[in-house]
Each structure stands twice: as C-alpha cells, then as structure tokens.
Amino acid sequence: MKVLYIASGTGMAGGATKSLIAMISQMLKREIEIEVVCPDDQGLTQWLRQNEIKAHVVRYRAVYHPSSQTILDILKWVPRFLYYSWINYRGCIKVKRITKDSAPDIIHENTSTINVGYNAAKSIGIPYVMHIREFGPLELNMTVPGRKRRLKGHKVFSIPITKALSRYLQQDSNPKACQIYDGIVQASDFRLNEDKKKWFLYAGRIERAKGISDLLEAYIEYVHASKSPFPLYVCGGCSDPTYLKKIKDFVVKNGIDDKVVWLGERTDIADFMAQTVATIMPSRCEGLGRVMPEAMANGSLCVVRNNTGTKEQLENGVQFTGAPIAISYEEKSQLKDVLMKITESVERGMAFSPGSDFRQMIERSQSAVKEFFTEHRFGEKVYDFYIKVLRESGND
C-alpha cells in the first residue's frame, strides 16, 4: 500500500504536524510506502528528509471565510482570498502531477482546511481521506469553505479526531467515516514524580482562543487572595507580537510581572509538566487538545476548562476509570478558587504522596491516556481504516 500525505503546515510545534509525524511513524512500521507533500521546506520537510522519507514542496494555503460578514471583514478578506486561490490553483496542478508520478493508493490530507489533495484524488479517481481536526467557527472564528461538499464525494472518507467533531459535521452516521483519537504519547513516555515544584504551568500557543488572557485575569485574583502565591510559568510560542505585548503589558500593569515567568517555546516542556503542581488549560475551544494527554502522561495534575474537545476527554476518562481524571471548571471566575485549593493542599504537605486525592487523580488520568491516546493504538486504527477504504473503493 502507498499513501500520499498532504501536510497543512511544517511547524514542528503544531498539533497537526505532531499527529502527522506519529501517523507516518506508525505506518512505516506496517510497511506502508509513504510520500509527503509540504507547503514549504521548513521543519517537517527537513524531518522527513532526515528520516529518508520522500518529501515534495508545493506552495498552497488554507483558505478560510470570515464567519462574521461585515463590510470590513469582506474588504480585508477578498484580496487575500483571491491571492490564496491563485496559489492553490497552481499548487493543485503540481500535486496532480506528483500524484500521477507517485501512483499512491490513497491520498490523505492531514487537516480539513486544505483541498489540493482532494482535487488531485478526484481527478485521478483514487480514494481520499480527510483528517478533520477543527470545527472552524468555534476555535478559528472562520468557516472552512467547501468542506461539507467535499465530504459527500464518491471516494471521500474521513477521520474526525473527536466524537464532537464527528457529530458537528454529521460524520457519526457516515459509513465512510471513522472517529479516531490522535496518537499523542508513546508507552515509554509515562512517569510520575511526587516531588513537585511550587509553581503552575501554562503550556500551549499564546493566543486569544487558548484562553491565556482568562488565565492571567484569574491568576491576578489568586495572587491578591493568597498569602504565598505560586509563580505561573508560561510556555509556548506566539505568532502575533501585538497580542503578546498586550498581555505582557497587562501583567506589568497589574503588578505581577515578578510572578509570571515567560519561557517561550521549549523542547523540554515534558520536564516542566512533570515538575509543576498543576498544568492549566484554559482554552475557550479545543478540537482535541493535545496538551492535556501530554501533561497527564508526564504525571501532571491538570486543571482544565470543561468545554468542547476537552469535555469529551473528561467524559471518556470518567467512563473508563469511574472518577474524574482532572480538576475542571466551567467559568473563568471559578479558576481562582481552584488555584487556591491546590495551593492550600500543597502547603499542607503530602499532596502528591501515594494514596492522596491528587495522586489518585493523576494515576486515573494516566490509565485513560494509555487507553485512548497512545501512538500504537492510533496506528492500529488508522491502518485498519485504510484497509476498509481500499476495500470499499474497489482498490484493494
């Protein structure tokens, strides 16, 4: 079997790229021949070449429509849409040429926000798999044009990464769809360190949708209410310098700049997760939310906003283990009290010793992650789905 993957981007810190690498690694173990099309020659492309996997570089872009159609939105969007459409038109021609030369059995597009792979598969008549990772309007404030139409294609199959996404796009009743959670951790990644450091951790992209500003507002209240507040370590990159400056100025203005530690992007984030008293995930919307399983595998107590993809993980955890696998909250106003509760428990001592409530929650969370998010389990399900795709397409 040969699969041609279409990557949406090459940034190595992105969840889609991490998932694609895990998928490729698992498919190689199953002796699938692989080629990958990338939109530039950075990050992922270099990783592929270093691992002797054939990589093609073709320019293309994701194209969104603004979800709120104001005059200003349209004025900003139309020139960009036309420019990106031209890039994608040329990119599609090149991807079709690559497809004819490489003759894959399946084209697998790694997100639903691009369509050059869909057009190539349709023109040649081979099965196409759309990996659905994003709602669109909820977390991106954008709509994904043509996605529902593509999903109705004759040889089009889909992999929604959560049950909520599957329902959102009516794929839960589609026999050509298979909901599969991403492979996020390996069996060797699990650890549990009870000697925690007295600080909180935020790990993720620094952007409005991830809820970092909500966390900082709650953290300010916590600092003012606590006798000895724990510092907050912020780990993650930011693609919007203006937004980063805004939240850093907010921290300084409120007099907590000595309590907030800006780490930037780190390659050793797993070690920070293992050491912190809690990893906080305040995201306003998540398709899946990779940080939570990553933190749990590293033995971190997790504090999470109970919504969208995160809510689904919490529900799966309770169903599998019989009890909560994280501390959850509904509203921003509740987060300060959660931080206070953790601080008081840690200061009393033995918060993470064997048998403690926090320790048991962490152990339950690790059991759930092993059940739902290991790369091996992910690989098994994707491979089985490929077999089904080929059989039902008459290409086996």
Which among 106, 61, 110 is positioned nearest to 88, based on CA atoms? 61
Dihedral of CA atoms 71, 72, 73, 77 in degrees, nearest 10, equals: 100
Q: Looking at the predicted structure, is the pLDDT value of residue 235 above 70?
A: yes
Confidence at residue 308, expressed as pLDDT on a 0 to 100 scale: 74
CATH for 118: 3.40.50.2000
Separation CA 383–CA 396 (nearest Å): 13
- 234 to 257, 279, 375, 387: CA distances (angstroms): 12, 10, 27, 43
163 with 192, same domain: the answer is no
Enumerate the H helices of the chain as residue ranges: 15-29, 43-50, 71-102, 116-124, 137-140, 147-151, 163-168, 212-225, 241-253, 269-275, 291-297, 308-321, 335-348, 357-372, 375-393
Q: Is the CB of residue 182 less than 8 Å from the CB of residue 373?
A: yes
pTM above 0.95, yes or no: no
Q: Is the CB of residue 12 less than 8 Å from the CB of residue 369?
A: no
255 with 177, same domain: the answer is no
318 with 252, same domain: the answer is yes
87 with 206, same domain: the answer is no
Q: What pLDDT digit, counting tens, does each position of 54-89 carry?
A: 999 999 988 766 655 567 766 777 787 788 889 999
290 with 328, same domain: the answer is yes
Structural domains of the chain, count: 2
Confidence at residue 139, expressed as pLDDT on a 0 to 100 scale: 47
pLDDT bracket for residue 317 (50, 70, 90): very high
Domain span including residue 147: 2-183+374-393
98 with 225, same domain: the answer is no
Average pLDDT over every residue of 320-348: 95
142-143 and 65-66 beta bridge pairing = antiparallel
Which among 73, 24, 74, 93 is positioned nearest to 52, based on CA atoms? 24
163 with 195, same domain: the answer is no
Q: What pLDDT digit, counting tens, does each position of 242-301 carry?
A: 999 999 999 999 999 999 999 998 889 999 999 999 999 998 877 677 899 999 999 999
Dihedral of CA atoms 314, 317, 318, 319 in degrees, nearest 10, equals: 120
C-beta neighbour count of 349 within 10 angstroms: 9
Q: What pLDDT digit, counting tens, does each position of 211-231 carry?
A: 999 999 999 999 999 999 999
166 with 250, same domain: the answer is no
Average pLDDT, the chain: 91
Which among 150, 188, 176 is positioned nearest to 297, based on CA atoms? 188
Name, in order, each residue with C-beta under 8 angstroms of 122's C-beta and a sequence gap of 6 or more: 128, 153, 155
Separation CA 181–CA 370 (nearest Å): 12
67 with 158, same domain: the answer is yes
223 with 139, same domain: the answer is no
105 with 165, same domain: the answer is yes
Q: What pLDDT digit, counting tens, does each position of 285-310 carry?
A: 776 778 999 999 999 999 999 887 78
Q: What pLDDT digit, counting tens, does each position of 166-209 carry?
A: 998 999 999 999 999 999 999 888 999 989 999 999 998 898 88
Q: Is the CB of residue 42 less than 8 Å from the CB of residue 73?
A: no
pLDDT above 90 as % of the chain: 74
177 with 65, same domain: the answer is yes
